[in-house]
Amino acid sequence: MAILSTVLSGEDSENYTRSEARMLELAEKQPGYLGRESARTADGRDVTLVYYADEQSLKAWRDNAEHRHAQRLGRERWYASYEVRIARVERGYRFEAPAPGR
């Protein structure tokens, strides 16, 4: 999985929005894509968690030519700062409360 924590510069925001939508679409088409969560911190950072089946899929996505181009524009224009973390999910579990009234 990748954890991407970003702060936008505010510059060229229309193209950013278009590119972001395109990147989400492309990321989903990438083999090994499992899902994502997008959230926003109280201080205005966007945190996106992207899950891939394995390291190889994640690297293929990182190296995708269209994605590379967007990354470059991100550094040149769109982001004031960002932080990327690559992590391996080791285990997990889910809790679901019993439906009320049952």
Q: Which of 23, 49, 60, 73 binds its own copies (CB under 8 A)?
A: 49
Of 65 and 97, nearer to its own copies (C-beta) is: 97
Report the C-alpha gap between 100 and 71 in whole angstroms: 46
Q: How far apart are CA 74 and CA 30, in angstroms?
A: 20
Q: Is 65 in the site for its own copies (CB under 8 A)?
A: no
Question: What is the spatial distance between Cα 15 and Cα 74, in angstroms, rounded to a whole number?
Answer: 10
Q: What's the N-to-C CA distance of the chain in angstroms?
A: 37
Q: Which residues, in sequence order, are CB contacts of 81 under 8 Å at separation 6+?
A: 6, 7
State the minimum distance, in angstroms, from the CB of residue 78 to its own copies. 9
Q: Does 63 bind its own copies (CB under 8 A)?
A: no
Binding its own copies (rule: CB under 8 A), the pick from 14, 90, 101, 102 is 90
* Total of residues contacting its own copies (CB under 8 A): 34
Alpha-carbon span 9 to 22, nearest angstrom: 19
Residue among 14, 63, 94, 101 that touches its own copies (CB under 8 A)? 94
Binding site for its own copies (CB under 8 A): 1, 3, 5, 9, 37-42, 45-47, 49, 75, 79-97
